[in-house]
Amino acid sequence: MSISSLTDIAAIFRSRISRRSMLAGAGWFAVGTAGCETQRETKTAFQVAGPSMAPTLWGPSVQFICAACKVPIRVDAEHWKTVRQRVAAVRERGASPPRCWHCGTPVDGDSIAQPTRIEPDVVTVVSPSLARIQQRLDTGDKPLVLLKHEDGIHVKRILAGPGQVVTADESGRLLVDAAPVALSDSPRLPIDIDEQRTGDIPSRWSCVDDVWQRDQEGIWSGASLGTKSKSGLVWLVYQHRNVYRGNVVSRVLDDCPANLGIDRRLHPVDDIGLAISIQPQAGVDVGKNQSRSDRRVHVISWTEQGSRVVSQTLPEQPSEIGSLIEFGPTSFRKGSELDASGLNSEGIPELSSKSPIAVGLDPRSVANARDLRLWRSIAWRAPQLSRWELGTDEWFVAGDNVPVSVDSRFWGPIRANQIVGVCEPLTQKS
């Protein structure tokens, strides 16, 4: 289904608190005076409907487990009906099946036999203060708002406000005042979960020179190879693959697990985050051994402007189960230019757009590593070379489920009197 033919069903539909409150809220929508700074603040709780804001906010949804890699897959309840119809068409007519975003295994009747239904998220809607909304935009925040458009009520994220210019570059990447849209609290859209790649599903990570190996539980170590005394860093390198194209090596794409089975063009993304669990070597005294071992985790990230490196020091008193180390997309953007002389390593792996991440560990201080996870931030896109110059009473809004949402990219900017209130999540279910 193409983007232009998708219907935005991210409406707010009923109040969780009571029928009376629902009617009161609906009445307030009808007579609310958006932008009036003297209006008494009103707060009402509402349930979310539809996939436009997934995975930040979910309407009624269904979750099932991939039969092959055991990764949970969650989709909108209405879209779930389409998934089931497509699975049935595969059996009846040999149609193309929907595939697991993680391992590429076709979704079949066995996968969806025991789905779990999940209630919608709830948001608190507060009467709007345009000054506060503008203040949040000025500090880099991108607030969620409830708005009226035509005959519907929608929840969207404000990306730009009065006087700003919204454009799309030649690749369709959305820009505000010529800068890519960045969301500090972006939900993590998963790219790869290494521990879920076992059995016949190979890991996408490899170790340079096979110094470390991966066991059947997904743990990377070199103890069996006698590498505890090895000097320098051991490098684990990630290589991405496209599960919709026969698992061919490719760039990381803006796939969204919530859109299972929706056919669309996928675009490259560069804002990648990494998490890794580290088990330190037993008996390593930080004070005495700091000089002879590197107690940092080094990560090299590929960018079109060149590779960059960021590092984090392992905790001095890690837990028995190890330490979770995380690197967000922002840390990679702010990382240092790669200088091989600054790393105690005999060989720095060569990265590319298809192998964008490498992790360097010193086996004298690190016993093993596990649960490597890659995720990406939301990447908004619009028709190539689009342009919107916002007037003094105009706001640009978009949904977080970029390919599904119908918003200012199709409507154009909205006006202040369309803003019903500011949304704050009350409950969220992942």
In DSSP notation, 61-90 reads EEEEE-TTT--EEEEEHHHHHHHHHHHHHH
pLDDT in the model for residue 253: 95
- Tell the residue number behind the tokens 């071992």, with chain if given: 293
Amino acid letter for position 207: C
Beta carbons of 56 and 27 less than 8 angstroms apart: no
pLDDT at 100: 95
- Of 3.30.60, 2.30.30, 1.10.3470, 2.60.120, which CATH number belongs to 189-376? 2.60.120
Asked if residue 218 lies in contact with residue 198, where contact means CB atoms within 8 angstroms, the answer is yes
Determine the pLDDT at residue 294.
Answer: 81
Closest CA to 163 of 322, 385, 1, 393: 393
Query: pTM for the whole thing?
Result: 0.85
Residue with tokens 């066991």: 215
3-60+119-169+387-427: CATH homologous superfamily?
A: Umud Fragment, subunit A (2.10.109.10)
**CA-CA distances (angstroms) from residue 232 to 228, 274, 276, 277, 360?**
11, 22, 19, 20, 9
- Nearest to 266, CA basis, from 161, 402, 387, 409: 402
Residue type, 298: H
pLDDT of amino acid 246 = 92
Amino acid at 21: S
* DSSP class per residue in 198-237: -TTS--SEEEGGG-SEE-TTS-EE-GGGT-TT--S-EEEE
**Which residues touch 10 (CB under 8 Å, ≥6 apart)?**
48, 49, 50, 51, 52, 53, 59, 154, 155, 156, 399, 401, 405
Question: What stretch of H or E contains 176?
Answer: strand 174-176
CA distance 175 to 214: 41
- In angstroms, the Cα distances linking 14 to 34, 45, 48, 197 are 21, 9, 8, 41
Map out the domains of the chain as residue ranges. Answer: 3-60+119-169+387-427, 189-376
Distance, CA of 10 to CA of 30 (rounded, Å) = 19
- Between the two ends of the chain, the Cα-to-Cα distance in Å is 26
Pick from 104, 271, 66: nearest CA to 189: 271
Q: pLDDT tens digits, the chain, 430 residues: what are they?
A: 222 223 333 333 333 322 222 222 222 222 233 333 444 567 888 899 899 999 999 999 999 999 999 999 999 999 999 998 988 888 788 778 899 999 999 998 776 777 999 999 999 998 888 999 999 999 999 999 999 998 789 999 999 999 999 999 999 999 999 999 988 888 999 999 999 999 899 999 999 888 999 999 999 998 655 544 455 899 999 999 999 999 999 999 999 999 999 988 999 998 899 999 999 887 655 444 444 568 889 999 998 888 899 999 988 766 666 789 999 988 888 888 877 666 766 678 999 999 999 999 999 889 999 999 999 999 999 999 999 999 999 999 999 999 999 999 999 999 999 999 999 876 544 4
The region, left, alpha or beta by phi > 0 then psi within -120 to 50, assigned to residue 217 is alpha
State both tokens at 32.
């609310």
Residue 10 DSSP label: -
pLDDT computed for residue 231 by the predictor: 58
Q: Which two tokens stand for residue 404?
A: 């599904």
Q: Residue 142: what pLDDT?
A: 95
Structure confidence at residue 30 (pLDDT):
26
Q: How far is CA 256 from the centre of its chain?
A: 8
Could you tell me the maximum CA-CA distance found in the chain, to the nearest angstrom? Answer: 74
